[in-house]
Amino acid sequence: MANEKRNQMADMLLQSLYDYHYAYNGASYNLPKAMLEADAQSKAAIEYLIENDYAADSGQGTESLVLAITKQGMDYINNK
């Protein structure tokens, strides 16, 4: 059941990254890392997206996640 909830959250987040990508000309989405510590389900979903190459975080070494959808993530959304 936990994996099902994580996957649903991951799908929702990936769709949001997809929409954000097109709404803001390919921009990455910034999210304070402190917010993830407060929400374990969101953290697990984002980690799942990154581990499966659906999203990338270019914010290493900062206080924020800088998330962008990858080509693999776009393909997943387009083929749903």
State mean pLDDT over 53-71.
94
Grade residue 60 by pLDDT with cuts at 50, 70 and 90: confident
* Under 8 Å between Cβ of 53 and 70: yes
Residue 1 has a pLDDT of 56
Cα 43 to chain centroid, rounded: 9
State mean pLDDT over 59-67.
90
Cα 71 to chain centroid, rounded: 13
pLDDT of 36 over the 90 cut: no
Domains of the chain: 2-78 (1.10.10)
State mean pLDDT over 20-34.
93
Give the containing element (helix H, strand E) for 24. none
Average pLDDT, the chain: 92
